[in-house]
Amino acid sequence: MTTPARPLDVRRLGRTEYGAAYGLQKELVAARIEGRILDTLVLTEHEPVITTGRGTPQDAGLGLELPVFEIERGGEATYHGPGQLVAYPVLELPEGRRDLHRYLRDLEEVVIGLLGEFELEGLRRGGLTGVWLGDKKICSIGVAVRRWVTYHGLAVNLHTDLAAFRGFRPCGLDADVMTRLADHVQLPPTNLLGEVLLVKHFCRVFGFELPEPQPPSTPEGSFPELPLLR
């Protein structure tokens, strides 16, 4: 018997300051725990920022004149900035999928599917979370879970300025290991195509479907409720 697909709310925020998007994540996590919202996928592109996860060494020596946020996700320090597609799933993991190792592998599979749309082979590397093209890393992943509701997520380098990684060791690795999709295929100038393909493979991997779009509303002081991707 086929399990029916679950509805997914996709929120496209455009470019955001990290602190605002982080605050939104925390609000969404609380709302999902209380059952007030659907499982939600937030898509954004940040202004330049460094985030440090629980695995970041105290002597990481970031050495960049950028805002730094210490957050509760796993992993070490990474960079977010223009040209990078960031996805924050706020999902209540159902019974049978409450395994964080499986969840990380599922997120990797989403990105591997996205890369496959460009006839590129995304790879996993033993002991290292994320997705690689050959010996170069194209996607970083770091997550947190509260009462089996996920937050934080993944970042795929599309047009990212890779020089921004050079002031520190991203994910504990040499900065030269980072790559971006634009160095391997021709891409349109915005992140929209990447967003559409990521949503497609996110729904495939996690068994979601997109509900019918609702009329947009923009309460004062909140992010706009943009139309859902179809």
What gap in Å lies between CA 4 and CA 200, rounded to an integer? 17
Catalytic member of 171, 198, 203, 229: 171
Write the pLDDT tens digit of every residue in 34-50: 999 999 999 999 999 99
pLDDT on residue 46: 97
pTM equals 0.87
What gap in Å lies between CA 44 and CA 16, rounded to an integer? 7
- Average of pLDDT values for 179-204? 97
- Please check the confidence at residue 127 and state whether its pLDDT lies above 70: yes
For this structure, is 139 an active site residue? no
89 and 68 in contact (C-beta within 8 Å)? no
10: left (phi over 0), alpha (psi -120 to 50) or beta: beta
Beta strand residue intervals within 37-135, DSSP E? 40-46, 49-52, 68-70, 78-80, 84-90, 123-125, 128-133
Tokens representing 104? Answer: 């990380």
- Please check the confidence at residue 113 and state whether its pLDDT lies above 90: yes
CATH 3.30.930.10 is held by the domain 7-208: yes
Write the pLDDT tens digit of every residue in 215-227: 555 554 455 444 3
